[in-house]
Structure 1
Amino acid sequence: MHTPNILRSLLATALLCFTGSVLAAGTPAPFTATYQVLRNGSPIGESTLRLTRDGSDWTYVSHMRGTSGLASLLGASVDETSRFRWHDGKPEALSYDYRMEAAIKSRQRRVQVDWVKDTVQVTDGGKRFDYAAKPGLVERHSMPLALGYALADGARHVALPVAVKDRVEIQRYAITGKSEVNVPAGRFDAVRVDRTDDSKNFSAWYVPKRYPVPVKLAQRAGGHLTLLLKSFRRD
């Protein structure tokens, strides 16, 4: 078992956000949701997610903490905050802050988007990267929300410009099937969405007419992680 791989896996667990009841396409709504986090089928943590209105913009905050196994022993936690504007019926990144803390390791990253100059500035590990922004830009934390709204609008194939460390990466996703999904929050008839331009084995199960992001998410890279919805409330 490689501890750094577990920690890198945990960073990705706070990717989700939720709205409840019937989703009105193109309309964000504040919420609080909790998710169970599993690695190789065993519970290792919980993630709490909150979307709030911030004037004319939106703030999406997630907090993951290790509750079992090595993640708990290390005191592992991940905090992420995204700010975005709603532009042309979809989220568009303004900033993203990431912080991972554990007994043996810590890490920070910041993304800042200037839409006047159409530039992105990333600070990661003491290094700075500057590059041009693209319309519809999101970052990894708000990516599932952007994908969910595209699905709610009827898209079956979605290409998203995502701000990564040193560039804008065009990530491609597609509906690949339908299935019944059972999670702690209930049973859902969901569509499966896979990333098609990469071999990182990202799969997510959406209910597009009700929720903008997955009821379940699974990714193999870094440790076979699975996220399952536990509870949701509209704020």
Structure 2
Amino acid sequence: MRRLARLTTFLFATLLCATAARSDAILPKPVTATYEVTYRGIRAGQLTFKLTRDDATGRYTYETTAAPSMLARFVISSAAVERSVMEIGPDGVRPLEWSLEDGKSGADKDGRLKFDWNANVATGEIEGEKIELPLEPGLQDRLSIQIHVVTSLLRGQEPGLIPLIDDNRIKRYSYVKKETTSLDTALGKLDTVVYESTREGSNRQSRFWLVPKMEYLAARAEQIRKGKVETVMVLQSVQ
């Protein structure tokens, strides 16, 4: 479950060269995308990511659900849901609430966070541990970081170094553009830009093949540990 959840931390309209005033108004569009997942070459099932917007409040909800293979059901439940509620304004993405329900009996692997931007504190509980961390500009949760990356690229900005609450502390991930390439997918050949995400002191890295003409949706994502590809996600469908 955690391996798949870590990769979802890192998943992500042509790059717009707009003025600062116009870029503030650029917002991601609602989307539902489904990925086929393999772990060390073994099929693990599918993950679906859904971004919606509440017209009444202007808030966005981003959630992921799983349809694990028979073997992967020992690791992740089909009832597992990870969700982030956020607002997007001139300063970018600000998470408001994050939750993870692993879909199994008991709550020892579940998590929840509330972001109070007035008091500048995030509080909650993750895997039974109480969390209270100070907020800082640009701080994200494990799902909102994906929307932050997309929103930044849509506004003509590089994601750069992003602080993230993961487990019980703040970690910092760097996103660097590596190359452009074409990729054969279930949706045909897609032109992509490849980004690599790393964290200082970690032996893991992630690579994403983002599609500019699809608002930087990831056509493929890989998680690499000690130089070896472990988890691969490949785009199957988009709504």
Considering the TM-score relative to the shorter chain, is it more than 0.5? yes
CA distance in 2 between partners of 1:143 and 1:180 (Å): 25
Alignment match, 1:9: 3
Q: CA RMSD in A?
A: 2.8
CA distance in 2 between partners of 1:127 and 1:73 (Å) = 24
Partner residue, 2:166 = 164
SS in 2 for 1:147: helix
- Of 186-195 and 162-171, deviating more is 162-171
- Contact 2:14 2:154 (C-alpha < 8 Å) held by counterparts: no
Q: Secondary structure at the match of 1:168?
A: strand
Partner of 1:211: 215
Q: Which residue of 2 aligns with 1:4?
A: none
In 1, are the aligned partners of 2:34 and 2:48 still within 8 Å (CA)?
A: yes
Residue identity matched to 1:177 = E
Q: Distance in 2 between matches of 1:28 and 1:17?
A: 14
Q: 1:216 to 1:189 in 2, by over 3 A?
A: same
Instruction: Measure, in 2, the Cα distance between the counterparts of 1:104 and 1:83.
Output: 24
Measure, in 2, the Cα distance between the counterparts of 1:221 and 1:103.
Answer: 30
Q: Which runs of 4+ in 1 moved over 6 A?
A: 103-106
The residue number in structure 2 matching 1:229 is 235
1:86–1:9 CA distance, 2 compared to 1 (3 A)? same
- 3-state SS in 2 of match to 1:136: coil
Q: Distance in 2 between matches of 1:43 and 1:104?
A: 27
Structure-2 separation of matches of 1:23 and 1:40:
33
DSSP 3-state at the match of 2:221: strand
| TM-score when normalising by structure 2 | 0.81
Alpha-carbon shift at residue 229 of structure 1 (Å): 1.0
Task: Tell me if 1:34 matches 2:28.
Answer: no
Q: Return the alpha-carbon distance in structure 1 between the equivalents of residues 106 and 170 of structure 2.
A: 31
Aligned residues: 224
- For the structure 1 residues 221 and 9, does the alpha-carbon distance in structure 2 shift closer, same or farther, using more than 3 Å as the test? farther
Structure 1 portions without partners, runs of 5+ = 1-6
**Residue 67 of structure 1, CA deviation:** 2.0
The question of whether the paired residues in 2 share the 8 Å contact of 1:193 and 1:205 is answered with yes
Cα 1:41–1:182 change in 2 (3 A) is farther
TM-score by length of 1: 0.82
Paired with 1:121 and 1:145, the residues of 2 have a C-alpha distance of 21
Q: Distance in 1 between matches of 2:53 and 2:65?
A: 18
Preserved CA contact (<8 Å) 2:10 2:206: no
Query: What is the match of residue 153 of structure 1?
Result: 155
Aligned-pair identity (%): 23
Structure 2 match to 1:123: 125
| CA positional deviation for 1:160 | 1.2
Distance 1:172 1:148 in 2: 14
Per the alignment, residue 181 of structure 2 pairs with 179
Deviation at 1:73, TM superposition (A): 5.5
State the match for 1:3 in structure 2. Answer: none
Separation in 2, partners of 1:173, 1:227: 18
Asked if 1 retains the 8 angstrom alpha-carbon contact of 2:35 and 2:236, the reply is yes
For 2:72, the equivalent position in structure 1 comes to: 71
